[in-house]
Amino acid sequence: MRIGTRRSALALAQADLIARMLGGCEIVPILTSGDRGEGIEDKSRWVGELELALARGEVDIAVHSAKDVPGELAAGLVLAGTPARADPEDVLCGAASLAQLDSGARVGTSSIRRTAQLRAARADLEIVPIRGNVDTRLEKLARGEFDAIVLARAGLQRLGREDALGAVLDPAQFVPAPGQGALALELRDGDTRAHEALAAIVDADASSCLRAERALALALDADCHTPLGAHATLRDGELQLRGWLGLDGEAGWATDQLSAGAADAEALGRELGARLALARTAVEQTAGPA
């Protein structure tokens, strides 16, 4: 079995995890247009080359950070699901809490969602774009370019860098990105061998949560420019989904949550997405033309 992955340290660590879970596989690093700084600014720039390699039969499985996978997959490809999910929360590095930061403190993030949520929580902070992989961002923090930065807890865990964690941000307020902490396992539809291999490592509960979060994002036609959070949890057979949607300009945000059985994951996501879309439309109509 051949596993296709991006070439970043985090992507390779994630692919290695899946390879070990499957009992050993060949890892095939692939350079994506996103890694080259090319391509249009949407999620396809992180997965397009991997999907092409899958379609051509050059790899049997593609391993993605689930939050990077577009709502619509390339023709002939499917998601098998996800193994057990890592912690999905956002974390603050460089400070013991958000409240500890002084007014005007420089907080680094490249995420539109995190920017919107930080401004909602602390409008007095200076939110500054930051680029690079996890280690590069932590190096910039150590050099004093930022007072704090926000990262995904799962990335720190998988790279063995939890020593950099200052505070875990409350996921009820800082609702994570859809799929954050989960690994999406993509393969060719009808590839029985790969399907059977992945079925042994897919976690049913985590996969139900991922389906609900992806359905919410798809219902809102969300892309890289949508400040959207979606976080599902499953307890005693009940799936609870929370959504957070940043609204245009100074309109603020909308948040909502719903529950349903695990079997209704996609329907739950669609329903909550529809409710958030109505909230967005109401604000737009109230604001009127620019």
Shared-domain flag, residues 212 and 287: yes
Q: Which two tokens stand for residue 32?
A: 């994506």
pLDDT in tens, the chain (290 residues): 999 998 889 999 999 999 999 999 999 999 876 666 555 555 566 688 999 999 999 999 999 999 989 888 999 999 999 999 999 999 999 999 999 999 999 999 989 999 999 999 999 999 999 988 899 999 999 999 999 999 999 999 999 999 999 999 999 999 999 999 999 999 999 999 999 999 999 999 999 999 999 999 999 999 888 999 999 999 998 999 999 999 876 568 999 999 999 999 999 999 999 999 999 888 877 766 54
Same domain, 61 and 112: no
Pair (185, 44) in one structural domain: yes
Indicate if 197 and 209 belong to the same structural domain: no
User: Distance between CA atoms of 181 and 152, rounded to whole angstroms?
Assistant: 8
- Nearest residue to 121 (alpha-carbon basis) of 255, 257, 12, 233: 255
* 174 found inside a domain: no
Which of 42, 60, 68, 135 is an active site residue? 68
Whether residues 188 and 65 share a domain: the answer is yes
Residues 161 and 145 in one domain: yes
Q: Assess whether 228 and 193 both reside in one domain.
A: no
Domains held by the chain: number: 3
On whether both 242 and 224 belong to a single domain, the answer is yes
> Tokens at residue 119, please?
């401004």
Q: Is 35 a catalytic residue?
A: no
Q: Give the separation between CA 166 and CA 39, rounded to whole angstroms.
A: 34
**41, 157: one domain:** no
- Tell me the residue range of the domain where 105 lies: 90-168
Find the CATH number of the domain harbouring 256: 3.30.160.40
What is the secondary structure of 86-146 as a DSSP string?
PP--EEEESSS-STTSPTT-EEE---HHHHHHHHHH-TTSEEE---S-HHHHHHHHHTTS-
Residue 176 inside a domain? The answer is no
> Could you tell me if 241 and 195 lie in one domain?
no
The CATH number that applies at residue 28 is 3.40.190.10
75 with 2, same domain: the answer is: yes
Query: What is the token pair recorded at 53?
Result: 């390699």
140 and 121 assigned to the same domain: yes
